[in-house]
């Protein structure tokens, strides 16, 4: 039984802490202690402590006894915290999805003898791991994936509820979307190139460009065509484009807009929601498709987004603890997934928790 220190106890953090507490000793720290009571109800053995992640000395002391650290803080806090954890010589799994280039910390991690797994969630996360595996055993010509977390019963005008911070969602709608087209990185506006796609259990959804490829653009730049799109119910992208064009996402209005959308997009307690994802990998005269569909867990009251993101992260925590991946440095999930035993472990781990990734193969 290992000692895990987790930083962050939000919606996803709560799910991860519960999952890890089934096999490990875990202590959870957060500046906002509002979720501590729920954690203690889920498992009285989960230890909680209020900490300030921006205080590097306090953070170092908090993680001192950890066998591994799980970092689950908002993106704007992630990079600095990750750097402090690596400097402390602790292996770490990070789902903060910070905007900074985490590969800048690779030399530091190697010098400290640390394994740092970053972007270890749903997306980026699962698509990267699967891409990494297939890249190790075939020549890939194109890679694309589509993903969205959605309310089960959408209501106008937004037809959307946010399973995480509206500020982070807005970032997706404003940051230019990078993709690989014919071997070159091309940038297009977020929310552009809307297409309608049909998904089992959901029906028609619209897909539009967002900047979700991240590290893949550089670690897998030999793949000539790659793109990522976000999924929403029809009409949402046009409405968000109107918000953006009206200046509501500009620096002087973003705080007001975030507050407005926080109320409008807030999931009610135990509100049914779902997560849907499609991954398409093409090459070597075959097309491999993965489909994921997951819904709110009414028994434990865990959202599908917290399950699909959180269980991916906890799987990678266990991959490192079990020495299935022992390299030192900073690793996005596509590099971890290149080792088949890691990808196999992830698939089995998710399946045991009723998160199913269905694979189809078409040869031509």
Same domain membership, residue 286 and residue 211: yes
CATH at residue 253? 3.30.360.10
> Which position has the higher pLDDT, 76 or 194?
194
What is the share, in percent, of the chain residues with pLDDT greater than 70? 100
Asked whether residue 248 falls in the same domain as residue 134, the answer is yes
Tell me what the mean pLDDT of segment 180-206 comes to: 96
Mean pLDDT of the chain: 95
Which CATH number do you get for residue 18? 3.40.50.720
Which pLDDT band holds residue 323 (cuts at 50, 70, 90)? very high
Q: Round to whole Å and give the CA distance between 63 and 308.
A: 26
**Is 78 found in the same domain as 135?**
no
The whole domain housing 51 covers 3-121+308-352
Q: What is the pLDDT of residues 116-134, one digit of tens each?
A: 999 999 999 999 999 999 9
pTM of the shown model: 0.95
* Phi, psi of 160, deg, nearest 5: -160, 145
Within a 10 A sphere around the Cβ of 186, how many other Cβ atoms? 11
Residue with tokens 């500009």: 250
Domains contained in the chain, number: 2
Say if residue 173 is in the same domain as residue 319: no
Instruction: For residues 294 and 187, state if they share a domain.
Output: yes
Question: Same domain for 161 and 278?
Answer: yes
Residue, of 174 and 89, whose pLDDT is higher: 89
**266/217 same-domain check:** yes
Based on the fold, state whether residues 111 and 19 are members of the same structural domain.
yes
**Do 86 and 109 reside in the same domain of the chain?**
yes
pLDDT of residue 255: 87
Banded pLDDT at 171 (limits 50, 70, 90): confident
157 and 259 both lie in a single domain? yes
Q: Are residues 142 and 204 in the same domain?
A: yes
Mean pLDDT for 5-25 is: 96
Check whether residue 300 and residue 341 sit in a common domain. Answer: no
Q: What is the pLDDT of residue 162?
A: 85
pLDDT one-digit tens code per residue, 242-256: 999 999 999 899 889
User: What pLDDT does residue 99 have?
Assistant: 85
Q: How far apart, in whole angstroms, are the C-alpha atoms of residue 274 and residue 279?
A: 17
Is it the case that residue 343 has pLDDT exceeding 90?
A: yes
If pLDDT is split at 50, 70 and 90, which confidence band does 163 have?
A: confident
Q: What is the pLDDT of residue 217?
A: 97
């Amino acid at each position: 039984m290992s000692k895990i220190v987790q930083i962050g106890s939000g919606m996803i953090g709560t799910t991860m802490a519960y999952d890890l507490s089934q096999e490990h000793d875990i202590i959870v720290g957060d500046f906002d202690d509002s979720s501590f009571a729920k954690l203690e109800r889920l498992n009285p053995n989960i230890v909680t402590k209020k900490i300030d992640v921006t205080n590097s000395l306090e953070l170092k002391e908090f993680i001192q006894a950890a066998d591994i650290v799980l970092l689950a803080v908002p993106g704007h806090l992630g990079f600095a915290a990750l750097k402090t954890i690596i400097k402390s010589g602790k292996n770490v799994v990070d789902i903060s999805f910070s905007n900074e280039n985490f590969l800048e910390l690779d030399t530091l991690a190697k010098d400290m003898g640390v394994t740092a797994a970053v972007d270890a969630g749903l997306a980026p996360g699962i698509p990267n791991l699967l891409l990494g595996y297939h890249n190790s055993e075939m020549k890939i010509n194109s890679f694309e994936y589509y993903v969205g977390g959605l309310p089960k019963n959408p209501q106008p005008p937004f037809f959307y509820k946010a399973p995480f911070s509206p500020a982070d969602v807005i970032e997706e709608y404003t940051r230019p979307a990078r993709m690989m087209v014919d071997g070159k990185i091309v940038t297009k506006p977020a929310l552009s190139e809307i297409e309608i796609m049909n998904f089992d259990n959901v029906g028609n959804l619209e897909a539009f460009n967002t900047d979700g490829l991240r590290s893949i653009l550089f670690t897998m730049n030999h793949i000539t065509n790659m793109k990522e799109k976000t999924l929403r119910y029809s009409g949402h992208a046009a409405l968000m484009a109107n918000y953006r064009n009206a200046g509501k996402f500009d620096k002087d209005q973003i705080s007001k807009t975030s507050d407005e959308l926080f109320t409008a997009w807030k999931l009610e307690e135990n509100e049914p929601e779902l997560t849907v994802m499609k991954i398409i990998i093409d090459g070597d005269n075959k097309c491999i498709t993965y489909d994921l569909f997951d819904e709110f867990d009414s028994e434990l009251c865990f959202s599908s987004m917290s399950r699909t993101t959180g269980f991916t992260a906890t799987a990678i925590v266990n991959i490192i603890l079990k020495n299935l991946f022992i390299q030192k440095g900073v690793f996005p999930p596509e590099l971890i997934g290149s080792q088949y035993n890691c990808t196999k472990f992830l698939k089995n781990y998710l399946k045991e928790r009723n998160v199913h990734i269905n694979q189809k193969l078409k040869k031509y």
